[in-house]
Every structure is written in C-alpha cells, then in structure tokens.
Amino acid sequence: MSAKSSDATVSAPHPRETMALFGHHDAEQALLSAYRGGRIAHAWLMSGAQGIGKATLAYRMARFVLAHPDPLSGPVQAAATLGIDPSHPVARQVASGAHGGLLTLERTVNEKGVMPTFIAVGEVRKTVPFFGSTAAVDGWRVCIVDTVDEMNANSANALLKVLEEPPQRSLFLLVTHAPARLLPTIQSRCRKLTLRPLAIDDVVHATAQAAEIDADDPLLEQAAQAAEGSVSRALNLLGGGALKLHQRTAALLDTLPHVDPRELHALGDALGGSDRAVLNAFVDSVDRWIGEKMRADDANANANLPRLARLAEVWEKINRAARETESYNLERKPLVFSVFGLLAEATR
C-alpha cells in the first residue's frame, strides 16, 4: 500500500465529507428527475446492503437541494448529476456539520464516551424545532436518518409523527439496511429507492480513494472480492488482520452445526484486543452467512418457516450482542462462543 500501512485500521471519511459517488447511476437519476420535476416526494427510503453508498447518496442529494433550492432553476434543469463543486459554501458547511438546513439523526458517542445501541427518541424530537424554524435557513430543510434501523419503538413512532404531517419544503432521506423490519406505516409514507451492491471495479476504486491507497494493490483486490459490493466491508477487511479473520470465520461457519471448540478458542483469541476492524470483520462475516442461509430458505419458505424464524431471531440477538460488545468494550471471546452456540442451535 502506498499511503497507509496494511497493519493499521483503515477508516473511511464520513459520508457528509464524501463528494464522489461510485455506481448507483440509476438511483441518482431517479432523485434528480424527481426533484427537477418540482413535485418530489417528501420522504425517501433508501435501502440496500450495508456500506454500498446509501448515506453517501443521501448527503449528495442534500447538498444538491440546499445548493439549488429552486427545482425549476436553470442549474437544476441542466444538471447531469447531483454533484456540486466541493468549494461551494454548501459543500463546506455540510462537511463540517454546520449547515442550518440539514439535520442528521444518527448514533453518536455520548458524554460518557459510550456509543448507544439506538437513536434515542430525544434525538428524533429535534425535528420539531428544526422544521418549525424559519430563521436559520431560507428554502429547504433536509433530514437524513442514518440509519432508521437503529431506532427503537419510541424513536420510530416519533419519526412517524413528523412523516405523517410533513412541513412545506421538507425532505427526509431515510437510510436502511433492512427495510422489511421497519414499521409498515413508515414504509408507506416513503418513496422507496433500492440500491444494489457495487460492481467489484467500483468497490476497488471507491475503497482506494477512501483509504488513500493504490487501486492496483493486491490486498485491495482480495478485499474487494470478499466484500460483496460493499465499500465499508472492503475497508474493514483492509484493517490489520481483518481479511484473515474474515476467512477464518467463514471457514468455521461452514462447519456448522458442528464446530471444533479448539478452533473457537483460537478465533476468540484472534478477535481479542481493541481493533475495531477485526470485530467488524467477524460480525460482518456472521451477518452475511445468516443472510445467505435465510435467502436460501426463503426460496422454499413454506417448508422452512420454522428455520427462517429461528435464524431471524438469532440474527437480532447476535447484532444486539455485537453492538453491546463494541459500545461497552466487553471481552470478545464470550461473543464468539455465544454466536456459534446460537447458530449451532438454530441450524440443527
């Protein structure tokens, strides 16, 4: 690697700072066409696999609308994409989180230095003064929720109240990895926009730009091949021993429901420490394995409904345990044994 060591955790810039969009031409054109027509839906549900660029597209749309508040203006009608000049004041304000017309709802580290497991209802209630204000910024007000999956029942219901009575010139961009798990009432109030996993070439170039490495780096190609269209997965796999840990986890998952305890101990030891990349690689490998099993069972849903239900329940438990392990910096070996114990029981 040219700019960053492969032994270090590789992180991407926040989507609010990311100006380039790789792939997703059709989704971008759908947003641009809707806005250009002057009757854009007030809420969009942007769904797809994690790390493929949904939030990047949401911020790209927000910048465009805030920079061009009149959809019938010449610049909007002539635009070929949602991109704006990085030197534009709106681009700088959005990147710094200082634009008065943009509200982002997301999990953030609290005053105790802990990352909460969900977006609290108090955060969602910020939409009331935000959309009610007329002094901050003329024109549109845009709210990005990244992700709506991370809301509990109270925060989801608080969001629903705002969606039911949308203010004038308001735009909601809701990012979701699992739209089927959202409240049907939220889904029904949004126009749906599904993003597909990126092509490997797009993953390579997007990851190279985010990580500031050469696009022809051999490790990058391996990570992109294993990432299944997700830039965040590729970035996670570039960090430290994350790619090897992913491969090791995948090999153990393929032995279920029978797993060698010695291998589990070795995997738990490899997962130890504080490197977030290896924890992400482990959780992501498990998520993908469960997703593949559920899709396979879904093809014959009538015969596999009990197993589908078990896997869905296990999926929720595993992700909750993983979030708590990360948020509270818990020991990771117990997580490994818990995950494989749950999966062994669900797949017998």
Map out the domains of the chain as residue ranges. Answer: 24-194, 241-347
* Gap between the Cα atoms of 154 and 86, Å rounded: 37
Asked if residue 65 lies in contact with residue 44, where contact means CB atoms within 8 angstroms, the answer is no
Complete DSSP assignment for 19-63? ----S-HHHHHHHHHHHHTT---SEEEEE-STTSSHHHHHHHHHH
Separation between Cα atoms, residue 43 and residue 168, nearest integer Å: 12
Residues of the chain with pLDDT under 50: 1-8, 135-136
User: What is the token pair recorded at 195?
Assistant: 């993003």
Question: What pLDDT score does 4 carry?
Answer: 41
Per residue in 49-88, pLDDT tens?
A: 888 999 999 999 999 999 999 999 999 999 999 999 999 9
Helices 276-298 and 231-238 pack at an angle, to 10 degrees, of 140
Is the pTM for the entire model greater than 0.85?
Answer: no
Taken in order 99, 102, 107, 111, the sign of the CA dihedral is positive
CATH of domain 24-194: 3.40.50.300
Res 6: pLDDT = 40
Task: Specify whether the CB–CB gap between 163 and 172 falls below 8 A.
Answer: yes
**Distance (Å, whole) CA 292 – CA 271:** 23
Phi, psi values for residue 163, rounded to 5°:
-65, -30
